[in-house]
Amino acid sequence: MSAQGNVARWDRVTVCFGTHRALDGASFAVPVGGVTALLGRNGAGKTTAIRTLLGLLAPTRGSVEVLGHDALAVPPALRARIGYVGEGHPLPRWMKVKDVVAYQASGFPTFDRAQCTRWLERFDVPRTRRVMQLSRGMRAQLALAVALAPRPDFVVMDDPALGLDTVARREFLEVMIDLIQEEGRTLLLTSHVLTDVERVADRVVLLDRGVVRVDAPLDDVRRLVRRYELVHAGVPPETLEPIAGLVRARRRHGRWTVTVRGEEAAVVAAVRATGAEVAGVEPLSLEDVFVEYTTREEVLS
């Protein structure tokens, strides 16, 4: 682990594909313990960040560190301490479940076959069935079992519940969190289902077009980011004076609505300094916060 108590750290990372910057000077970290959610719209840079973390992609500029080492030069013994479950649970479809377990066990000296078997029994995954014959939920559970069997300290999951129905997704997430937290593991999770993220995450990192827009504990995000309806004496101005912490501003039905990150009293004081008053304050869900930070354009009417 790094001296700062981080399992992983991105330091001013830029990744270019031709003229496109998938990551643009991104800096954030995954603290030891708990669940960090890496969020963003499609193309925001999430998968690129994970690929740099796993040593599959070299940054154009900047550096990525995992388990105290440069991500491109992690010793094999330490790399075994990183578990990974990819989007869509890519497993050899022609293999039987028992053969997938044997194959994975052959590559990890720390692979706990007995624990893996107990998990598969708990999930009711038939050991003699081929991967192609499993349901999406069973494939997800198999991928999780073989990823955790080597007992990694750090688990990376790239949209692991993608494609599961509501019941299967909830069961998968509950089991996933139980298995990870019972031994104090650290989890980095991406997901497009933000209600799931709210249930399991301790910390949120939000990428927007390769730039880190949010990097904070989830409780702080929900507490500090709020939507304020403003009223002005006379005709509302065409543009607003700057407000510290402004996330998004738009005018609807002759009134300005702003989303601001900050302590409510400080925001109200800042609004009054512009000549407006706060007519209403609305707390936001994580999904609302996500939309406010990633909406491409202001909406004026």
Q: What pLDDT, on the 0 to 100 scale, is given for residue 301?
A: 41
pTM above 0.85, yes or no: yes
- Is the predicted pLDDT of residue 1 greater than 60, yes or no? no
CATH code of the domain in which 267 resides: 3.30.70
Looking at the structure, tell me whether residues 278 and 193 fall in a common domain.
no
| pLDDT band of 164, cuts 50, 70, 90 | confident
Phi/psi zone of residue 20: left (φ > 0), alpha (ψ -120 to 50 degrees), beta? Answer: beta
Residue among 182, 190, 298 at smallest CA distance from 239? 298
Residues 97 and 243 occupy one common structural domain: no
Same domain, 65 and 204: yes
Residue 131: pLDDT over 60? yes
Q: Is residue 1 part of a domain?
A: no
Residue 161 lies in a domain: yes
Average pLDDT, the chain: 88
Cβ-Cβ contacts under 8 Å for 51 (sequence gap 6 or more): 57
Q: What is d(CA 30, CA 179) in angstroms, rounded to the nearest whole number?
A: 19
- Structural domain boundaries, residue 239: 220-294
- Integer CA distances (angstroms), 191 to 146, 178, 300, in order: 20, 18, 31
Mean pLDDT of 14-28: 96
Are residues 56 and 74 in contact, defined by beta-carbon separation less than 8 angstroms?
no
Which phi and psi (to 5°) does residue 147 adopt? -75, -35
204 & 227 share domain: no
- C-beta separation of 276 from 232 below 8 A: yes
Say yes or no: 49 and 176 in one domain.
Answer: yes
166 and 237 inside one domain: no
Place of tokens 């077009």: 209
181-202: burial string, b at 16+ Cβ within 10 Å, e else: eeeebbbbbbbebbebbbebbe
| Domain total of the chain | 2
